[in-house]
């Protein structure tokens, strides 16, 4: 494959979490083209919480980009670029569900949208859950908690009812792990 080279990057907008850039790219044919690039400065973590009865805790919340409510696994951005993502995942689990994990382990890492964004999300599995209280949500959050069977969630993925990439990846990775054991 011939090399494509970035020859310029201009910051268009600096947000609280994301920075938006216009990249001028030199293509192999000698022409230039402007591409959009979104930088996610903090990175994020998400967690697939499995209760002792095998049910998976999911959160239902409004997502502005889609203008609708979605069903997802708990997730959030790191508090700093140095924060260990396992700590971020554990914190988000507690804040969004009121559960604490006795065991948390990484399932996989993924880049959410490689065509235009560098966001890295580490995906964790949380087990040995203990209910420690209620949710501790940010003022802007409104989250309902639901518990589902793995097979039901897999069907929802295949039917297109679950479309959030981190959620689908977590469910499929967990299902694959269960098949191996």
Kindly report, residue by residue over 86-107, the tens digit of the pLDDT: 999 999 999 999 999 999 999 9
Q: Is residue 129 part of a domain?
A: yes
Q: What's the rounded Cα separation, in Å, for the pair 101 and 97?
A: 11
Helices (H), the chain: 85-97, 150-158, 165-180
Q: What is the pLDDT of residues 138-171, one digit of tens each?
A: 777 788 999 999 999 999 999 999 999 999 999 9
Residues 34 and 52 in one domain: no
Active site residues: 139
What is d(CA 154, CA 112) in angstroms, rounded to the nearest whole number?
Answer: 19
Task: Give domain status of residue 36, yes or no.
Answer: yes
Give domain status of residue 24, yes or no.
Answer: yes
- Pair (26, 99) in one structural domain: no
- Domain for residue 115, yes or no? no
Whole domain around residue 12: which residue ranges?
5-40
What does pTM read for this prediction?
A: 0.91
CATH number of the CATH domain containing 161: 3.90.79.10
Q: CA 58, CA 75: separation in Å to the nearest integer?
A: 10
Beta strands 75-77 and 143-148: pairing type?
A: unpaired
């Amino acid at each position: 494959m011939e090399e494509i080279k970035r020859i310029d990057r201009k910051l268009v907008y600096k947000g609280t979490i994301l920075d938006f850039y216009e990249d001028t790219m030199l293509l192999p044919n000698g022409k230039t083209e402007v591409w959009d690039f979104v930088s996610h400065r903090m990175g994020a973590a998400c967690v697939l919480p499995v209760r002792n009865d095998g049910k998976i805790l999911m959160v239902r919340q409004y997502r502005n980009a889609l203008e609708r409510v979605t069903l997802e696994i708990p997730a959030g951005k790191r508090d700093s670029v140095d924060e260990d993502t396992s700590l971020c995942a554990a914190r988000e689990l507690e804040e969004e569900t009121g559960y604490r994990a006795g065991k948390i382990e990484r399932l996989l890492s993924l880049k959410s949208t490689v065509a235009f964004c560098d966001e890295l999300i580490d995906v964790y599995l949380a087990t040995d859950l203990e209910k420690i209280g209620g949710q501790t949500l940010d003022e802007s959050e409104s989250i309902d908690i639901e518990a589902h069977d793995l097979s039901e969630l897999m069907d929802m993925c295949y039917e297109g009812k679950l479309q959030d990439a981190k959620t689908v990846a977590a469910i499929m990775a967990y299902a694959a792990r269960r098949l191996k054991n």
